[in-house]
Every structure is written in C-alpha cells, then in structure tokens.
Amino acid sequence: MRMEARYPSRATMHRDPPLPLPSLRHFSIPERRAEVARLVGLAPAELEHALRSGGLDESTADAMVENALGTLALPFGVAPGVRVNGKDYLVPMAIEEPSVIAAASNAAKRARKAGGFVAEIDPSIVVAQIEVHDIADPAGALARIEGAAAELVARANEAIGNLVARGGGARRSSVRDLGGGMIVVHVHVDCLDAMGANLVNTVAEAVGARVAELARGTLGLRILSNYCDERVARVRVRLPVEELASARVSGLDAARGIAQASAFAERDVYRAVTHNKGIMNGVDAVVLATGNDWRAVEAGAHAYAAREGSYRPLATWRLSDDEQALEGQLALPLALGIVGGALRAHPGARLALALLRVTSAAELAAVAAATGLATNLSALRALSTEGIQRGHMALHHRATGGPSERGPRTTNGSGACEPPAAGEAKLPR
C-alpha cells in the first residue's frame, strides 16, 4: 500500500516572492559570497567561516572517521533560480566536474520562464529487513508472521519512541518467501525528516528475535535497505520549444533532438547508463553538499532504473503532439534528511541547508530531483545539437589552467568570435 504523497499539497505549496537572480559568473569569490549571503540573510562572515578549509576542520574530521589524516575539499557552488513548485531556490552543489553547475543553472533558467519544475514526493518510508533462514515450514512461517503484523509494528515503535512522538514510526510489516528455507520480513518506517539509517537499523534489531521465533528458523541479517522504492521523488517540466533555441539551432530542432536522445536511452543500456549518470551529476552534487549519503542514493537510483528487469533511463523526454512543447519527467528514490547524520558535525552541510531554505526532507528531495532533471536537459540539448565537448571542454580547460583559461573563443562562418553554445556555459572574463 503506497501512502499519499506528503509534499506538496495545495495548502502548502510555496508561493514565495521570486528570488533575485544576479549573474554570479562575473563575480570574484568574495563578491559571490557577499551576494549570496545578502540573498539568504546570512552574515558574510558566517558564510566565510562555514566554507573555510572545505567546511570541515581536522579535529571534526578525526571524530567523524577512523585514521583521519586531514580533509579533501571539493568545489562548492550554487545554481541560482531553480524553481520547484512555485518557489525559487539557490541550490548548493558540491562537485569536482566542470560544467555541471553551469548546466543546472542554464536549464533552470529555461524552465523558470515556463513556470519551473513540478515535484511530488512520497512519504519518507525506509524498509528494515529481517532475514531468517533454515526454515522447515516457510508457509507456516509466513502465516504466523502475517498474523503477528500488529505486534511487530508495536515492537518497532517501542524502539523508536522519539520518532513516533514526532508523528513518524513503523507503519506496517510485510513478509516474503525467498525460497530455500529463507524468508525476509520488512518493517516499513516513516522517517519524516531524517534519512533514517540509524532509526531503521534500530527497528530491525528490535524485532529480529521475535521474527525468528515466529518463523522457527535462524536469525540472519537485520539492517535497512537502501532501495527506497516507497520514497520516490517525481519531477516534471514542460518547456515551449522556443526556450530551447540557440543562435545555431531552432527550438523545434533542439526539442526533436532531445526527444530522440531520450528514445536512444530507452532502447540501449549503454546509453541509458550514461544518460542516468548525467542526471546523477545534479542529484549527487546537491546530496553531497547537504551532508547526505550519496552512495545510498546512487545505489537506490540504479536499482530503480532496473526495477522492470532491464536497465532503463530514470528521465524521459517527449515532444508534444502539436510540437509546441518539450515535456520531461524523472522518477527516482531519494532518501534524504535535514536532521541527523553529517549535518550534526559538518558546518558546510548546515550552510547548504541554510542557503536552500528547505523545511522538510521531502522539499530537499524535490530540489535535488529537479536539479538532476535540469542537468539531464542541458546534457541532452548539447549532445543532440552541437556535441558536449564545445562547452564542457572550455570549462575543463579553465579548471586545469589550459588554453581556454580566459574563456573560449570560437568563430562563426564569418570569423567573428562567439561564446560557447553547447553547454550554454559562459566563462568569467
């Protein structure tokens, strides 16, 4: 039984005033920090402190992991003006790859003109798995466990009383026969605004012994699953084809190319993997910036892509019947949190959430998914028109101090200099 989506509802959809959209690319880093601090109401010194040394000092790092030697920083940037469900976000992104933030910003700007992205997010359900083996009578075990469903949920909730007090907790249990005398019980836990790993592991261990007793078998693993197929983020966008035009390519031709690229990914696993990597460029950058577990997100996303037995693209694009609009949609599991985890220790992660102004894990998932659909749109638009390298490599050379450090200079047929068009990423001058 899938619960009704918690976010958004008509009563709670954001209608904040539009966020001012300065062109940050021409600013120095201190100027960008000052402008971003002004936009979100932070003191510039507070932002500077949170980002110093990658946002993490050595003593904190030593407390977080074993055998720490220091810290390894990543670039931390923002994609301005990502509109989701009527609210504009300044989206923090932590990533080492050039052009990803530019791609997200460019696609978000195009989508914003058309009303932005629309997102629906499932409740924050994470599954606790209890595996039992050496069962002589699996059918009898299933019957006994199904009959004790209410008891198992009650035991689970006794172990996570604080979450229950906040409105979350175990919602139901289910059981499956895996064959060979092995079964698995799932306890479905609503983790609210937490990612939920520690909470759900607590549940698994709290009910494990009773499950094994009911099954009359040997207790095996008790742990969460990172495949959160009941915690899915769904995002869609509809853009008039003219919003996709460039100086070299008409909007209709660009839209047709994007739809064709989507069809390619739907038919070929080699392309689907790279298609999804482009989505995760945006998603992971937001997940990492906000102190969430990007490895869990990646694992769950790729499992979801293969849920029907073959690996498929997470996002698809279609040209409308009248060829006036391009329609894109994305669905993937996103178990994210705005409390607990690295957020307790990492000033940079806390800063990222302050920049976002999100009030729930569901809202964070909506922004992360929209950012992934944005990076996918920019990548497909570049690939299906002029190729990915023209804009991407200009930014790559800048990152590595190569010949395009001061910005790419390309020529049109008349020999006049033009800015890059492929990724629509223009460099600071």
Active-site residue list: 97, 277, 293, 392
Encoding tokens for residue 277?
A: 């990597």
